[in-house]
Amino acid sequence: MENAACLAHTVARSRRTRVFCLAYRAGVASIFLLFGGSAIAAPCTSPDLAPSFCDRNGDMVADAPDDKTQWLDPDPIMLGDVPSTDMTERAAKAAPFIKHLEKALGRKVLYYVGTDYPDLVTAFRANRVHVLILNTGSVVQSVRCEGYVPIAQPVDSQGNVGGSHMELIVPAKSTIKAPQDLRGHRLTFVDQRSNNGYKAPRAILAKEFGLLEGKDYSFDFSGRHDNSILGVANGSYEAASVANDIRARIEREGLIDPASIRVIYKSRIFPLPPWGVSNRLDPALVARVRDAMVSYRGPIGLLQVGDRFRAADFKNDWAAMRDISAASETANCK
């Protein structure tokens, strides 16, 4: 009908008619975009992320906001780190890393250490830190709920993603010999965002040994892996779930006698924490930070494994951790 109307008026060569035809077509096109082309105009929905975030390219992390006025371009940049037993030593190891970033980015980088994991996450949410490392168990939920975007993954000298194992440990003289012996005892976790310190052991004990927290065993939280390891070593805790790399570090530092604890379970390997940023950070700055990290070579102690990074691939490298989060019923945002 449109073509017939326009053809009739076009034959008349009327300027008024030509205007009518253009207006008619424009109107049809507008209606199509409004109704028939609704997929283009519809808001972005990403089932793997909280409703406030959008993932148009399918990499399972939040895109930068469409509104560029929401982008962050901080100077100086705050680098957020997790606490450890000896922060003086860790800060010393971080110094060449910070110097490298400052040279590559052409702006000041300041070092911030959270008092614990929740404190670091709070600072991230408030945009008081801009580039940060989170514990393994926090990554999936922070990606989904807080716009955390992993950008650099620690790797070994061959480029392989390193990782850690969850261990269940007990005092060396304990009568607890295997995970099933935890029934009726108290297990000390780290915190609810920790993978090796809560999510993985909770899921594994339920799935592999039929033990449910609060029913088959009681539990509490120590706040840090270091606290749990030291507590088991001195007999304050009956059992604890910890990361094997942190236990190994504490033993190397001479803080505990390796003979004072016994490992009763060791899990499969889980990825080490990446460094990441807020999805609100200016994409151009994100690219520069990522490139700076990938080009870094430095102290092994800072990166926890190896001495280098590769660009993070959250979709593939963290698939197993997304399964753990789902099994632990902690994948949803609160």
Give the pLDDT confidence of 106-123 residue by residue, as tens digits: 999 999 988 877 888 899
CA distance to 39, 176, 256, 284, 308, per residue, from 248 (Å) = 53, 21, 10, 39, 21
Percent of the chain with pLDDT over 70: 81
Give the pLDDT confidence of 168-210 residue by residue, as tens digits: 999 999 999 999 999 999 999 999 888 899 999 999 999 999 9
Closest CA to 164 of 267, 318, 274: 267
**CA quadruple 8, 13, 14, 17: dihedral sign:** positive
Give the pLDDT confidence of 275-320 residue by residue, as tens digits: 999 999 999 999 999 999 999 887 655 655 566 889 999 999 898 8
Q: What is the mean pLDDT of the chain?
A: 84
Strands 261-271 and 163-171: antiparallel
Token pair 């530092």 in the structure block, residue: 253
pLDDT at site 328: 63
Which comes out higher in pLDDT, residue 81 or 305?
81
- Has residue 37 got a pLDDT over 60? no
Give the pLDDT confidence of 87-109 residue by residue, as tens digits: 777 788 788 889 999 999 999 99
> Which residues contact residue 29 at a Cβ distance below 8 angstroms, ignoring those fewer than 6 apart?
none
Output the pTM of the full model.
0.69
CA distance to 99, 139, 150, per residue, from 274 (Å) = 19, 8, 6
Q: What is the DSSP letter of 153?
A: E
DSSP 43-101: PP--TTS-TT---SSSSSSPPPPSSGGG-B--SSEEEEE---S-HHHHHHHHHHHHHHH
pLDDT at site 304: 55
Counting DSSP H helices and E strands in the chain, the numbers are 13, 11
- Has residue 61 got a pLDDT over 90? yes
Percent of the chain with pLDDT over 90: 57
pLDDT at site 7: 40
Q: What is the mean pLDDT of residues 2-17?
A: 42
pLDDT at site 158: 77
The answer to whether residues 149 and 278 touch, using CB atoms and an 8 Å cutoff, is: yes
pLDDT at site 8: 42
pLDDT at site 33: 38
Closest CA to 97 of 296, 250, 320: 296
Token pair 């009518």 in the structure block, residue: 20
pLDDT at site 28: 39
Strands 218-221 and 186-189: parallel
- Has residue 131 got a pLDDT over 80? yes
Three-state secondary-structure class, residue 159:
coil
Token pair 């994991």 in the structure block, residue: 117
- Has residue 36 got a pLDDT over 50? no
Give the pLDDT confidence of 235-251 residue by residue, as tens digits: 999 999 999 989 998 99
Q: Which amino acid is at 321?
A: M
